[in-house]
Each structure stands twice: as structure tokens, then as C-alpha cells.
Structure 1
Amino acid sequence: MDRHAPDQGSDPAAIARRLVTARRQAQALPDYPGELPRTLDQGYACQDEAIALWGRPVVGWKVGKIPADWESLLGEERLVGPIFEGAVQAPAPREAGRFAVIPGGFAAVEAEFVFRIGADAPADKTDYTAQEAADLVETLLVGVELAGSPLPLINVLGPPIVVSDFGNNSGLILGPEVPGWRSLAADELTCETFIDGHLVGEGGAASISGGLLAALAFALSRCAQRGYPLKKGTLVTTGAATGIHDILAGQRSRVSFGRWGEVLCNAVAAMPEGSDA
């Protein structure tokens, strides 16, 4: 049985308001604020409402892998969540990005290979192959997704819940471009994640199911089907290349992409919108 107050209900708009308010107030939610979405479509209905409430342009989309046990139940391999204007950082070399962590919520860093779209996707096209996706790419960058939510157990609750809360995304830190990426083998794109100097994960493009372009093709297709065809300049993350690594306020992460550079991040406690801190 879902653990929620009986008057909270399953109205996507009501759930979205509570999730958005919690993010803006930097306040953790120990329980889901309504009936748990059972399907991805129910989760996306909440996400659509929350996008409208957030009131900022969507400049990117995160792509996440759905665990195998959930994939067989839900019928999709991946999910998407919005990345908003103002949530993308591009620090100078050797400078760190900033991750505002909701105290008591969920926070993790994820090493990412990130595509930037070079042309508007056709508004009426809703299904893409990997090659069709590649044709729309301007460049590939390295980066770190800031996975964050007021729900501490968001990943435990399952993909429909992840989808409902912006895909468990709180922002993106961009690193250097990867020149000549089209001619590189997946095993040449490797990365390592460190938290407070300790190695916590290793992987790379070869860790992404089906490859980086399969993740992009999914984003192009799923977003178009929902009425969000990707535009020129849109950023698309492709999946957690070294895994999902929890981080707390006060900790620091470093993701090394070898010859492609590194991305630094300092986690700090989030403050309510409008506060002076």
C-alpha cells in the first residue's frame, strides 16, 4: 500500500506543485506527496505539470537507464528528465562547479558524455535511429549530471517516480569538448569518479547500454512524442558512465575523462529560493 495521506490523491498537478515547492524551499520530502505513479506515462504527466510550474526554458534533457527488472514491467529501457536554463554550469579549467544539495534529500554525481544538438529536429518526426540521431549532433562534451531530488528514496521508489520529479535531475556541469568523437571507439572514452579523493567508480562510453547514440536517439524520440522536439543547442546527457555516486554537502567530486579533461564539483547545502546565503 502506498504511504501517503488519503487526501493527497493522484492528481498530477497537485503532486507537481508539492514537488516543485519542496525543491524551491530546499526541503526534503520523507514520503511521496501523493499516490505513487504506476506507469511511465503517469510519471510524465506529473513531469509535464512540473515543467510548466518551474517556469524556465528547458535547455537540455538527461537520459537515465531503467533497471532491468523495471524495464520488463514498464516496457522502456530509458527515461528522460528536463534540464533547465540556469542549471547548466561551464566552469573554467581547474575551477569547480557547485551542487546545491537539499538536506535530507537525494544527491549524487554521475559522469556523463553529453551531446549538443546542432539543428532543430523535425517537429513531425517521433522515431529516430542512432544514425539519424548522429546527423543532428553538433559536438560531444564531457560533463557531470547533478542528480538531485527532495525525495531521499527516489531511486528505490522506481522509474515512474524518478520521471515525475524532473527525472531526478538538479543540473549539469559541462567540461571540455571531445574533438573527433565520431571516429573514436567507445573504449577510448573512459572516465573515473572520485569523491573526496577516493575512487568510487570507473567506466566510460562502453558502459552505456547500446552506446551513446542509442541514448540520444531515445531522447529525440521520447521527447518528440511528448511534444518537445529537440532544438538547436539542446544538451542531452547519455547515462551514468561510472554509476550513481551519492554525495553530501561539504564533499567534493572529481571526474577524470583522461585526455579529454576533468570536471570538478563542490557540494553545498541548498538554501530556499530568495534567501541571502
Structure 2
Amino acid sequence: MSPAQDISAQFTAARAAGRSLPAYPGTPPATLAEAYAIQAAAIAGWPDAVAGWKVARVNPAFAAQFPEERLIGPAFAANIHRVAAGEVASCPVFDGGFAAVEAEVVIVVAQDAPAGKADWTADTVLPFVRSMHIGVEVASSPLATLNDIGPGAVISDFGNNWGVVVGPEIADWHTLETLDVETFIDGASVGTGKVAIKPGPLGALAFTLNKRAEQGHTLKAGDVISTGMITGVHDIRIGQRSRHVFAGVGEVQVQITRAGASGG
């Protein structure tokens, strides 16, 4: 078993069992190529279909070592939660591991992307937007310190993703330049932010199209793209509830539960 396969096997075993890890299971990847090789091995070993991708910014402190503006991680079919207005998504996280919620704009992909094309920009991806939604990324890993280790570690463990909540559609997103958002946990405000539609969500979609093409794959119609945090990364505990208010559009609520066997 290669080092990449060993690391991925230990992460996926912990996720499947719903248990935490005391430390990174091996040497954290030092390059993007190493990190995405571990991610690919983990995807191959996980018994569920990839139904989308999470996107996050690379912390500028790590830009020299990981020279890309964003990173991606898979979102599996069982972890895509679609909720209507007024409904609450129930989302598991790993007890003793990392757990956070992030208010995000979620894009549903309109059509299969052409193979090999890797020069998409925020101005050219519009044909791939079926719809935009208000939503939430539920970030969780068996390793509590995953984010602290850096982007390579994050990429290697499914991008630290364990859920994408797809809320109500943003019907007039074409006319919006920005969107104001506020996040609450158990009723207390924990962060506010503003997202610019073109460099934000549309830029994240372009990055994902290009990254998957670089990896020899494409996005498919119906894939969901969680495009990056707006109000911050907010630590959350099992039993807590978050509420994410998107001004003029609506809100999304998430109830945090404990991941059990098979990660659910």
C-alpha cells in the first residue's frame, strides 16, 4: 500500500466508523499533487457516488506551498441535503473531530462539461448554472486539527466536507451583484458577510471546472457546487442548531447530529 493509500484508508475507516483520529495518520502532504492523490484514493475507496464539490479559499499564509487560490473536495450523494423554506436539515459531524458550518451560495450544474477544457472564467461559466441556491457547507473531519495543519491536509481528507445543504433558489441571482448574509448558532449571531456573485460563486464554479479537467474528469449535470464561506467558518457542536439568513432571499437552518457507523 502506498503512503497515499494508507492515509486515505485511515481517514475513510474513521469516517465509516463515525470515530475521531488523534493525529494526522502519516506525513501531511507537502504539495497539491500529493494532497489530491490522497483525495483521489479516498474517493475510490468510499462506497458512495460523488454528487458535487465544495470549494474553499487557500489561506494566504500557505500560498507559497500550495499555489492555487482555491481547493476542492468531494460532496457525496448521501451528504447532499435539499431543504425547502422553513425546513431544517439534519447533518452529522464527527464527535471529537472538526465540525463547523459555513453559509454559502450553492450552484446546481446545468449540463455536462466538455472534456479537457480548462480555461473557464467567471465570465464564461454561465451556461453551466442551472440554478443558484442559498445553502450551507457542513465541514467535518475525524481529525480536530485538520484545518490547522493546512490546505494539503484539508484536501487530503475530502476537503473537510461532510455535507452540503441546498436551500431555496435565488430566483433573481442574474440581477444581483452582492448578497448580504448573517449566521446564527443557537440564536446568537456569530458572523456577517457579503458575497460578490461574479468573483465569488461564479469564480468558484470556474475553478472547479478547471481543476476537474486538469484531473482528467468533468462536472456533470445536477452536480452541486458549494462555492465558499461568506460569514466565516463557525465551529459547532453536536446538538446545536445554526441559522443562516440571506438578506432578501430567505434562510437555511441546520441541526447538528452525531455521525454514526458509515458516517451518517
Give TM-score scaled by structure 1 length.
0.91
Is residue 225 from structure 1 mapped to residue 214 from structure 2 by the alignment?
Answer: yes
Q: Look up the equivalent residue of 1:210 and give its one-letter code.
A: P
Shift of 1:227: 2.0
In the alignment, the residues of structure 1 paired with residue 123 and residue 243 of structure 2 have an alpha-carbon distance, to the nearest angstrom, of 32
Residues in 2 aligned to 1:235 and 1:32: alpha-carbon distance in whole angstroms: 29
Alpha-carbon distance in structure 2 between the residues aligned to 1:120 and 1:11: 33
2:84/2:168 contact within 8 Å kept:
no
Once the two structures are TM-superposed, the CA of residue 48 in structure 1 deviates from its matched residue by 0.2
2:132 equivalent to 1:140 = yes
Where in structure 2 are the equivalents of 1:80-159 lying within 5 Å?
Answer: 80-159=72-151
Q: What secondary structure, in the 3-state scheme, does the structure 2 residue paired with 1:205 have? A: strand
Q: Equivalents in 2 of 1:125, 1:55: separation in Å?
A: 29
Residue aligning to 1:249: 238
For 2:260 and 2:139, locate their aligned partners in 1 and report how far apart those are by CA, in whole Å: 17
Q: For each residue in 1:154-184, what CA deviation from the matched residue of structure 2 results, as whole angstroms up to 9, or x when unmatched?
A: 1000000000000000011111111121121
Cα contact 1:191–1:242 (8 A) shared by 2: yes
Q: For 1:163, what is the secondary structure of its paired residue? A: helix
Judge conservation of contact 1:141–1:177 (CA < 8 Å) in 2: yes
Cross-structure match for 1:56: 48
Q: 1:23 aligns with which of 9, 15, 20?
A: 15
Distance 1:58 1:123 in 2: 18
Deviations 1:217-262 (A, max 9, x none): 1111001111221011111111101110000001110001122111
Q: Shift of the alpha carbon at 1:57? A: 1.4
1:133 deviates by 1.4
Tell me which protein shows more strand as a share of its residues. Answer: 2
- Asked whether the equivalents of residues 81 and 163 of structure 1 are also in contact (C-alpha less than 8 Å), the reply is yes
Any idea what the Cα deviations from partners look like across 1:97-139, whole Å, max 9, x if unmatched? 1121211100000000011111111012122111221221111
> What SS is found at the alignment partner of 1:211?
helix
Letter in 2 for 1:11: P
Dislocated runs of 4+, deviation >4 Å:
none
For these two proteins, the number of residue pairs brought into alignment is 264
Tell me the amino acid that sits aligned with residue 170 of structure 2: V
Does residue 250 of structure 2 align to residue 261 of structure 1? yes
Contact 1:88 1:171 in 2 (8 A): yes
Find the counterpart in structure 2 of residue 192 from structure 1: 182
| TM-superposed deviation, 1:274 | 9.2
Unaligned runs of 5+ in 1: 1-8
Post-superposition shift, 1:95? 1.9
Please tell me whether the aligned partners of residues 16 and 50 of structure 1 are also in contact (alpha carbons under 8 angstroms). yes
C-alpha RMSD over aligned residues? 1.7
1:147 partner letter: A
Q: Secondary structure at the match of 2:42?
A: helix
The 1:227–1:64 alpha-carbon spacing in structure 2 relative to 1, beyond 3 Å, is same
Residues 20-42 of structure 1, C-alpha deviation per residue, up to 9 Å, x if partnerless? Answer: 00001111111011111101111
Contact 2:83 2:168 (C-alpha < 8 Å) held by counterparts: no
Matched letter for residue 205 of structure 1: V
Letter in 2 for 1:235: V
TM-score relative to the length of structure 2:
0.96
- Alpha-carbon distance in 2 for matches of 1:185, 1:33: 43
Residue aligning to 1:78: 70
- Amino-acid identity (%): 45
Other structure's SS at 1:170 match: strand
**Contact 1:10–1:36 at 8 Å: present in 2 too?**
no
Residue 177 of structure 1 pairs with residue 169 of structure 2: yes
SS at match of 2:117: coil
CA distance in 1, matches of 2:131, 2:198: 20
